[in-house]
Amino acid sequence: MVTIEVNHRTVEAQPGEMLLDTLKRAGIKVPTLCHMDELFPSGACRMCVVEVEGQRGLVPSCAFPVTAGMKVQTHSPRVLRARKTIVELLLSNHPDDCLFCVRSGSCQLQSLAEELGVRERRFTGAKNDDKMDLSSPSIVRDPAKCILCGRCVRVCEEIQGVSAIDFVGRGCHTQVTTAFNDGLNVSSCINCGQCIMVCPTGALREQSHLKLVVDALNDPDMTVVVQHAPAVSVTVAEEFGLKPGIDMAGTLTAALRALGFDRVFDTSFSADLTIMEEASEFVQRVKTGGRLPMMTSCSPGWIKFVEQFFPDFIENLSTCKSPQQMLGAIIKTHFAQRAGLDPSRIFSVAIMPCTAKKFEAGRPEMTQSGNPDIDAVLTTREVARLIHMRGIDLASLEPDSADTPFGERSSAGKLFGASGGVMEAAIRTAYWLITGREMDELKVQAVRGAKGVKEARLNVDGLDVGVAVVSGLANARRLLEQIRAGRNDLHFIEVMTCPGGCIAGGGQPYQTQPEQVRARMRALYKIDRDAALRTSHANKEVQRLYEEFLGKPLGEKSHHLLHTHYAPREVVK
Backbone dihedral angles phi then psi of residue 110, each to the nearest 5 degrees: -60, -45
Q: Select from 28-36, 162-170, 222-230, 552-560 the region that touches another protein (CB under 8 A).
A: 162-170
Q: According to CB under 8 A, which one of 82, 134, 148, 179 is a site residue for another protein?
A: 179
User: Which residues 20-49 are close enough to bind another protein by CB under 8 A?
Assistant: none
Neighbours of 367 (CB within 10 A): 16
CB of 166 to another protein, least distance (A): 4
Look up 278 and say whether it is catalytic.
Answer: yes
Cα–Cα distance measured from residue 446 to residue 423, given in angstroms and rounded to the nearest whole number? 10
Considering the rule CB under 8 A, would residue 169 count as an interface residue with another protein?
yes
Least distance (Å) between residue 182 CB and another protein? 9
Q: Is 499 helix (H, G, I), strand (E, B) or coil?
A: coil
Question: Is 135 or 543 the residue whose CB approaches another protein more closely?
Answer: 135
In angstroms, what is the minimal distance from the CB of 164 to another protein?
6
Restricted to residues 554-573, the positions that interact with another protein (CB under 8 A) are 572-573
Residue 52: CB minimum distance to another protein, A: 32
Q: From CA 192, how far away is CA 389, in angstroms rounded?
A: 26
The total of other beta-carbon atoms located within 10 Å of residue 216's CB is 22
Active-site residue identified among 281, 382, 408, 424: 281
Residue 270 falls in which region: left (phi positive, over 0), alpha (psi -120 to 50) or beta = alpha
Residues with Cβ within 8 Å of 539's Cβ and at least 6 positions away in sequence, in order, are: 269, 272, 408, 409, 410, 413, 533
Q: Which of 278, 307, 408, 424 is the catalytic position?
A: 278
| 365 CB burial (10 A radius; 0-12, 13-18, 19+) | exposed
Question: Is 498 among the residues known to form the active site?
Answer: no
Q: Would residue 357 show up in a list of annotated catalytic residues for this protein? A: yes
CA distance 151 to 200: 9
Give burial (CB, 10 Å; 0-12/13-18/19+) of 539.
Answer: buried
Q: Contacts with another protein: how many residues (CB under 8 A)? A: 17
Taking CB under 8 A as the criterion, the residue among 89, 134, 168, 186 binding another protein is: 168
CB atoms within 10 A of CB 40: 10
Interface stretch with another protein, choices 53-61, 167-175, 345-353, 538-546 (CB under 8 A): 167-175
Q: Which stretch binds another protein (CB under 8 A): 34-42, 126-134, 165-173, 269-277?
A: 165-173
What type of residue is 94? H
User: Mask: binding to another protein, 78-107, rule CB under 8 A, as x and -?
Assistant: ------------------------------
In whole angstroms, how close is the CB of 573 to another protein at the nearest point?
A: 6
Pairing mode, strands 165-168 and 175-178:
antiparallel
Nearest residue (CB) to another protein, 137 versus 150? 150
| Binding residue (CB under 8 A) for another protein from 170, 211, 287, 565 | 170
- What residues pair up with 227 in beta bridges, in sequence order? 265, 350
Question: Measured from the CB atom, is 21 or 157 closer to another protein?
Answer: 157
> Is residue 540 annotated as a catalytic residue, yes or no?
no
Catalytic residue among 51, 277, 360, 424: 360
Q: Which is nearer to another protein, 477 or 526 (CB)?
A: 477
CA 482 to each of CA 192, 310, 479, 487: distance values in angstroms, whole numbers, following the listed order: 24, 13, 5, 6
**Interface stretch with another protein, choices 76-84, 159-167, 506-514, 517-525 (CB under 8 A):** 159-167
CA distances from 92 to 31, 95, 99, 111, 114 (A): 19, 9, 17, 16, 15
Q: Between residues 8 and 170, which has the closer beta carbon with respect to another protein?
A: 170
Identity of the residue, 153 or 378, whose beta carbon is nearer to another protein in the bound complex: 153
Residue 65 in contact with residue 18, Cβ under 8 Å? yes
Q: How far is the CB of 378 from another protein (least distance, A)?
A: 29
Given 73, 106, 163, 319, the residue binding another protein (CB under 8 A):
163
Would you list the DSSP string of 335-389? IHHHHT--GGGEEEEEEES-SHHHHHHT-TTSEETTEES--EEEEHHHHHHHHHH
Interaction mask 421-460, another protein, x per CB under 8 A: ----------------------------------------
Residues within window 187-246 making contact with another protein, judged by CB under 8 A: 187-188
Out of 167, 457, 481, 482, the only residue in the binding site for another protein (CB under 8 A) is 167
Distance of alpha carbon 210 from alpha carbon 464, whole angstroms: 48
Q: How far apart are CA 173 and CA 171, in angstroms?
A: 5
Active-site residue, 494 included: no
Catalytic, 281? Answer: yes
Residue 474 DSSP code = H
**Residue nearer to another protein on the CB measure, 169 or 290:** 169
Cβ neighbours of 390 (radius 10 Å): 13
Binding positions for another protein, 128-157, rule CB under 8 A: 157
Catalytic residue among 298, 320, 354, 498: 298
The residue among 2 and 179 lying less far from another protein, judged by its C-beta, is: 179
Please identify which residue in 28, 47, 165, 326 interacts with another protein, judged by CB under 8 A. Answer: 165
Catalytic residue, chosen from 304, 332, 357, 454, is 357
Cβ(560)–Cβ(345) below 8 Å: no
Region near another protein per CB under 8 A, out of 18-26, 82-90, 161-169, 559-567:
161-169
Out of 96, 99, 180, 243, which residue is the one contacting another protein (CB under 8 A)? 180
Where does this chain touch another protein (CB under 8 A) — which range of 179-187, 387-395, 446-454, 497-505?
179-187
The residue among 91, 80, 93, 5 whose CA lies nearest residue 47 is 80
Q: H-helix or E-strand containing 274?
A: helix 267-288
| Residues 261, 140, 314, 462, CA torsion sign | negative
CB of 169 to another protein, least distance (A): 5
Name the DSSP class of 320. Answer: B
Residues labelled as active-site residues: 278, 281, 298, 318, 357, 360, 365, 502
Residues lying near another protein in the complex (CB under 8 A): 157, 162-170, 178-180, 187-188, 572-573
